[in-house]
Copies of this chain bind each other. A is one copy, B any other.
Amino acid sequence: MRSVAEVAAAAKAAAPTLARASTLAKDAALEAMAAALDAGHGQILEANAADVKAARAADTPAALVDRLTLTGERIDGCARGLRDLVGLTDPVGEVVRGFRLPNGLEVRQLRVPLGVVAMVYEGRPNVTVDAAGLALKSGNACVLRGSSSAIRSNTALAGLLRDAVEAAGLPADVIGLVEDTSRRSVSELGRLRGVVDLLIPRGGAGLIQAVVTDAQVPVIETGVGNCHVYVDATADLDMATRIIVNAKAQRPSVCNAAETLLVHASVAEAFLPPAAEALRGHGVRMVGDEAAQRLAGADPAADSDWDAEYLDLVLAVRVVDDLDAALAHIARHSTLHTEAIVTGDRAAARRFVAEVDAAAVMVNASTRFTDGGEFGFGAEIGISTQKLHARGPMGLTELTTTKYVVEGDGQVRA
């Protein structure tokens, strides 16, 4: 088993070749990777079955076993994802801006790959394929550290992808899998300054917090979403019900699902009873303050509920006096992911948009739209909830940096 440092060093050594590869060469590699998945169903499913069997034997919850499980259809989905990347514009080589200085120097700011992008993730082995594909298309070598529960699946997938990349004429080491799935290996990755150019943790709040506080390499925080929907005094109440039901129940396990409903006191009596009925009809359990207990039949909320990212069919409900109180609640409990207002009042919408600090602010729309696919970015490596480098859905462009190229004829500074 190669050490974390060895895997990363091999990726670093291979990165310049990939960084300079043409779009045609990278697209050919992506097609080869997809074809390798097509041809490798048997091998992948066998490895995955062993992971699933081990997970079941360890009494892993059914939802986690489901995330871990690959099927022919899911593998086809991964291959399709790789082929979709072929159609996307290569960000590398874009001239972001260019200008001529008074002394005749010609300056271009060119988009270039970051170098080595490391990812730490949990559960789903399809992330191995998605991350390898996004990194390759954007010209970056990747170092992938999945969970121990998926190690057999990830090893099978990475092996197929590496062979395919090599057959397509690029170095296999641009895809590196860390086989050491100990906690220590995450910490080691985060300390490889000068080798790892970016570390992206994808998973629960615990994993992300641990990586961010421990890492010495640049990190982008992704995906923790305690998203709020605020129903204002002037909201169209039917629209508000449709939005909160969609935001909470359409896919509760994802980061852009809503976790808290805030309701203006003046519409609480009219809105909450039918909204609660609709939510319950979608299997949603509610916890809330006194008014929500009375009007929505919610169970009593604990203080911790206002900070909970349930990722489940649970919703915290609170009645607030006005927009100010809603903004204060959001400022206190937001994870800066996505916040929504439902309102008919232009001034309220403008204040909400201006004052809420988040990657995305929705007016009269479901929080579920904060998504690279929905935004038309074509693919997404995660949703950044930090302010540096990338905020919101991260596509190929967010996996690049720039370089200034300055050309002259002997200019010196006066």
Q: Which residues of A contact B (CB under 8 A)?
A: 16, 20, 99, 101, 105, 107, 109, 114-115, 193, 197-198, 212-213, 216, 218, 220, 236, 239, 242-243, 245-247, 250, 349, 353-355, 357-366, 368-370, 374-376, 386-389, 391-392, 401-413
Contacts and interface: CB of A to CB of B under 8 A. Distances in A.
Contacts of A365: 105, 406-408, 410-412
Contact of A410 (B16, B109, B364): B364
Nearest to A99: B376
Contacts of A375: 99, 101, 107, 404
A380 to B, nearest CB: 13
A20 B354 contact: yes
A11 to B, nearest CB: 14
B242 A410 contact: yes
Contact of A361 (B216, B392, B404, B412): B404
Copies in the complex: 2
B388 A401 contact: yes
A387 B99 contact: no
User: DSSP majority for the A interface?
Assistant: mixed
B101 A376 contact: yes
22 contacts: A16-B357, A20-B355, A101-B369, A193-B213, A212-B216, A218-B388, A220-B388, A242-B412, A245-B412, A250-B412, A359-B404, A360-B404, A361-B404, A362-B406, A363-B405, A363-B406, A363-B407, A364-B409, A366-B412, A369-B413, A388-B389, A389-B389
B401 A387 contact: yes
Contacts of A403: 357-361, 391
A401 B362 CA distance: 18
Given A220-B388, A366-B413, 17 more contacts: A16-B357, A101-B369, A101-B376, A107-B375, A115-B387, A193-B213, A197-B387, A218-B388, A359-B403, A362-B406, A362-B408, A364-B409, A368-B413, A369-B413, A370-B404, A370-B406, A374-B413
Nearest to A410: B239
Q: Which A-B residue pairs are the 10 nearest by beta carbons?
A: A246-B412, A365-B408, A239-B410, A387-B401, A389-B389, A368-B413, A360-B404, A218-B388, A388-B389, A363-B407
Most buried by B among A213, A369, A376: A369
Contacts of A216: 212-213
A101 B412 CA distance: 49
A387 B399 CA distance: 10
Most buried by B among A354, A370, A410: A410
A369 B406 contact: yes
Nearest to A401: B387
Contacts of A114: 387-388
Contacts of A409: 239, 364
A349 B368 CA distance: 48
A396 to B, nearest CB: 15
Nearest to A398: B388
A358 to B, nearest CB: 7
A370 B107 CA distance: 10
A374 B101 contact: yes
A413 B366 CA distance: 7
A239 B220 CA distance: 43
A362 B407 CA distance: 6
A411 B369 contact: yes
Given A101-B374, A387-B197, A389-B389, A368 B406 contact: no
Nearest to A209: B193
Nearest to A404: B360
Nearest to A20: B354
A363 to B, nearest CB: 5
